[in-house]
Structure 1
Amino acid sequence: MRKLIFGMNVTLDGYIAAHGDDIGWSVPSDELFQWWSDQVGATSLALYGRRLWETMSSYWPTGDQLPDAGPAEIEFARRWRDTPKVVFSSTIDEVDWNTRLVTGDPVAEITRLKAQDGGRMDIHGGATLAGAAVRAGLVDEYALVTQPVLVGGGTPFFTALDSWVDLNLVETRKFPGGVVLTRYETRR
C-alpha cells in the first residue's frame, strides 16, 4: 500500500493562497526550494487539483531552458517532468507532461491508487482535492511549510472535517526567513 502525503506552503493564519489565488507570499529560500525539489524527487506519483496543475504546467516543463535558470531550477524542472502525475478536474479536457487526467470521483481514484504497490504519493495542491482525501481518511502524512505571514483570508490549508484526525509530530525544521516545516503522521 502506498503512503499519501499532503504538503504545501501555508501562511501562519492557515491559508495556501490569499484572496484572488495570490501565492506571492510563498517565495522560497534556496534551502527551502531544495527541500521541495527533494520531495518531488522522492515522489512516485503526484496528485494535483486543476489550479495548481495549471500554475505548475505553465512554467516547469521548460523552466530549465530559461537563460537565468540555475542548477536548482534545472534539477527541479527535470524532476517535475519525470514524476508521473494525476490531475483531478472536471473542467479541463487534456493534460500533458507525464500526466493523466481523472474527471470522476477523486476519492475512489485515490483509494484505488493508494492500494497499489509503489512509492509514495503526494497531493501537491488543491484544498478541495486534499480535503476530500482527508475526510476519507486517506492522508498518511501532513507537511506544513509555514511562512511567517498573515494574509487574512483566501484558500485554507484544511477544509471542514467530519471528525477529528489525531496526529503524531515526526519532524520540525527551521528554514531561512523564519519559515518552519512541521511534519505529522496520522495516528491510526
Structure 2
Amino acid sequence: MRKLIAAINMTLDGFCDHTAMIADDELHEHYNDLLRNAGALVYGRITYQLMESYWPTVVKNPTGNKPTDDFAVLIDNIPKVVFSHTLKNVGWRNVTLAKRSVEEEILALKHQPGKDICVGSPSLIIAAMKLNLIDEYQLCVHPVIAGSGLPLFKSINDRVILKLLKTKTFSSGTVALYYEPIK
C-alpha cells in the first residue's frame, strides 16, 4: 500500500506562508527528490490554484535555474487530485477533481500500485490527520518567525504523538523533520 506523506514548509512559529520561506536551490533539490518518489499529489483548491498559477508557466518558459526548472517539470508530470467544492474544471495537465470524500479518495489512492502520495495543502493535511490517513510527516521548518498567518495545526484538538525518523539540515538553517505517527 502506498504511503500518504504530508510534506509542507512552515515557519518556526508554525505558519504556512510560502512568501516567508527560503526557497533556495538546496530546498528545491530537496523537493525535487520528494517529487521523484511521488506517484500522486493531493491538493485543496487554494494550494492548487497557487501552484497552477505559477509552475506551468515555468515549464513553458524556463527560468534558467536548474533546480527550479526541474521542479516545474516534475510537478507538471505528476498526477494531481484536487479537492474543491467550488471548482468545476481545472486547467493544469494531469489534474482531476476529487469526486469522493477525502477519506474515500485517499484510501482509493493508497490502495493503487505505485509510488507514494504527497499532500501539501494545510487544510487537507488536517483533514487527513483527523482521519488517521497520514503515514509520514515531512515538515521543513524555516528559521523565520512570521508572527501571523495560517497556522498548520490550528484545528487539531486531540493530542498526536509522533516518532522522529530523521532530520535533514540545510545551509539556510531550514531543518526537515521526518516523523511517523504512533498509532
TM-score (norm 1): 0.89
- Code of the residue aligned with 1:11 in structure 2: it is T
Instruction: Indicate conservation of the 8 Å contact 1:172/1:182, yes or no.
Output: yes
Aligned positions, number: 182
Q: Does 1:73 align with 2:73?
A: no
* Greater shift in the superposed pair: 136-145 or 167-176: 167-176
- Code of the residue aligned with 1:98 in structure 2: it is N
What is the alpha-carbon distance in structure 2 between the residues aligned to residue 67 and residue 40 of structure 1?
Answer: 18
Runs of 4+ displaced beyond 4 Å = none
TM-score (norm 2): 0.92
Matched with 2:173 is 178
After superposition, residues 76-87 of structure 1 pair within 5 angstroms as 76-87=71-82
Instruction: Name structure 1 gaps, 5 residues minimum.
Output: 18-22
Instruction: Indicate conservation of the 8 Å contact 1:11/1:148, yes or no.
Output: yes
Q: Does 1:140 align with 2:132?
A: no
Q: Does 1:166 align with 2:161?
A: yes
Instruction: Name structure 2 gaps, 5 residues minimum.
Output: none
Matched with 2:49 is 54
What is the alpha-carbon distance in structure 2 between the residues aligned to residue 118 and residue 177 of structure 1?
Answer: 33
* Greater shift in the superposed pair: 31-40 or 150-159: 150-159
Q: Secondary structure at the match of 2:172?
A: helix
What is the alpha-carbon distance in structure 2 between the residues aligned to residue 98 and residue 118 of structure 1?
Answer: 16
After superposition, residues 12-161 of structure 1 pair within 5 angstroms as 12-17=12-17, 23-66=18-61, 68-95=63-90, 96-125=92-121, 127-161=122-156
User: Residues 161-188 of structure 1: CA distance to partner in whole angstroms, max 9, x if unpaired?
Assistant: 3533221111111112211111101223
What is the alpha-carbon distance in structure 2 between the residues aligned to residue 99 and residue 142 of structure 1?
Answer: 23
Q: Does 1:7 align with 2:3?
A: no
Identity %: 36
Instruction: Indicate conservation of the 8 Å contact 1:43/1:83, yes or no.
Output: yes
